[in-house]
Amino acid sequence: MTKATKRAALACAVAAALGLALYFNGSTAADEVADNQVTAAATLAADPAAVARGAYVSIQGDCAACHTVPGGRAFAGGYGLQTPFGVIYSTNITPDIKTGIGNWTERDFFRAVRHGRHKNGQLLYPAMPYNAYVKISDADMHDLWAYMRTLQPVEQSPSHNTLGFPYNIRHALWGWNLLFFDNAPFVTQPAQSAAWNRGRYLVDGPGHCAACHTPKNFLGGDTGRYLQGAELLGSYAPEITADPYRGLGSWSREQLQTYLRTGANHQAIASGAMGEAIEFSTQHLNDQDLAAIAEYLKSVPGSNSIKPQAMATTEPVMRRGAQVYEQNCMACHNVAGEGIAGMVTGFADNPGIRTPSGSNLVAAILKGSKAVTTSGNVTGAGMPSFDWKLGDADIAAVLTYVRNSWGNAASQITPEQVATARRTLDAKPQMLRHF
């Protein structure tokens, strides 16, 4: 190496180190707006208006859903999140001194929520969606803290994570943050309306919609295909951009709001992960905020998917699918896939039916599912499981049929795909008749 290149290399290394130092110190500078004296457990007169606003922020952020075991004490943690890397358990965030965040200050709290750092400086797993919460405003964070301090302290120690090597090494998250953590606050776009900006704030910040709806790379970081649909374990979060074919282009703003408020609309019925997001979060949002989310999502450019050609009804697999449909599905999903608004999924011209891999449909038919119940839609109908009843070829045929009828066109589902899903989803084998 010549002297000049050596010097250049050294300069690069120093610049990189400086950049990193700035990156990390700069990252938490914003948290200095928070108090660093009073702990969560300390007695302090609460401002009821701030507490009420903070409760609403926690609903936007869906904090309780992840930090509460179903049927367990609120915010006491222990809920296991299934990730491709293993199970990560949420922590106790009640103001209990021994097992919760009782001895944390507001600044510690800001750092954890917006920058993914424990009080002791350890990095948190991005299963806690700090990469979205970094967009939460200072004002909302102050209110959220005011609310958190009023929670009932619960003594409950956290469960241990079951991550395999190398994912169990928290230091590795340093690299993850460097690659995938967009450490920047929310910036209002003055050219857009107030409603649009509010919608974007809710979607990208507290609502953390991208956590499920943006496809991930092999390290669990967001790809550039913003809100264009992502495989989850055993289900699929569809594209929610304005794309006319795969996204929400065909839904009106009102239909979108109805879905987020009640869990169902003219064609879609929410269940699973979205059912939970609706149950604990979006059904409680006020109408103005729901309208803002719709305003924003309807402006997000989509994957620009080209509508494929639907399979011909004369294809043998389509004929077989039509037969299976008539015998097993028509009673509920109706003659021409209309479904029943607010109760049974309508297949006709439904973007949720033409997802790229169809994994969500295979899971629903094998394991069945239960629609979410909300105060706006108390029916909560059920989709029976067909794993015991139908073989792989029949399931593949009926789903291929549904995906290529009534205005839909999408790739074929293969019997092999169904067989694999049967194994990975731990579904029952088909019950064979021996007569």
For residue 285, the one-letter residue type is L
Tokens representing residue 434 in the block? 């021996």
Q: How far is the CB of 125 from ligand HEC (least distance, A)?
A: 4
Closer CB to ligand HEC, residue 11 or residue 42?
42
* Residue pair 384/367 in contact by the 8 Å Cβ criterion: no
Instruction: Name the pairing type of β-strands 369-370 and 230-232.
Output: unpaired
- Give the other-Cβ count within 10 Å of 292's Cβ: 24
From first CA to last CA, the distance across the chain in angstroms is: 82
Alpha helices in 129-187, H assignment, sequence order: 130-133, 138-148, 172-180
- Which one of residues 39, 197, 369, 412 is an interface residue with ligand HEC (CB under 6 A)? 369
Has 332 been labeled as part of a binding site? yes
Residue 48 phi, psi dihedral angles, 5° rounding: -60, -35
- Kindly state whether residue 151 participates in binding ligand HEC, applying the rule CB under 6 A: no
How many residues bind to ligand HEC according to rule CB under 6 A?
A: 71
Closer CB to ligand HEC, residue 183 or residue 282?
282
Q: How far is the CB of 182 from ligand HEC (least distance, A)?
A: 17
- Kindly state whether residue 40 participates in binding ligand HEC, applying the rule CB under 6 A: no
Has 12 been labeled as part of a binding site? no
Q: Could you say which residues in the range 108-147 bind ligand HEC, by CB under 6 A?
A: 109, 112-113, 118, 124-125, 127-129, 133
- Kindly state whether residue 348 participates in binding ligand HEC, applying the rule CB under 6 A: no
* Residue pair 351/248 in contact by the 8 Å Cβ criterion: yes
Q: How far is the CB of 58 from ligand HEC (least distance, A)?
A: 6
Give 216's DSSP letter: B
Q: Could you say which residues in the range 51-90 bind ligand HEC, by CB under 6 A?
A: 58, 61-63, 66-67, 81, 88, 90
- Kindly state whether residue 269 participates in binding ligand HEC, applying the rule CB under 6 A: yes
* Beta carbons within 8 Å of 381's beta carbon, 6+ residues apart: 269, 343, 344, 371
* Residue pair 228/302 in contact by the 8 Å Cβ criterion: yes
- Kindly state whether residue 95 participates in binding ligand HEC, applying the rule CB under 6 A: no
The site map against ligand HEC for 185-214 (x = CB under 6 A) is: ------------------x---xxx-xxx-
Give 329's DSSP letter: T
Q: Could you say which residues in the range 222-261 bind ligand HEC, by CB under 6 A?
A: 232, 235, 237-238, 240, 248, 256, 259
Query: What size, in residues, is the chain?
Result: 435
- Kindly state whether residue 318 participates in binding ligand HEC, applying the rule CB under 6 A: no
Known binding-site residue numbers:
63, 66-67, 209, 212-213, 329, 332-333
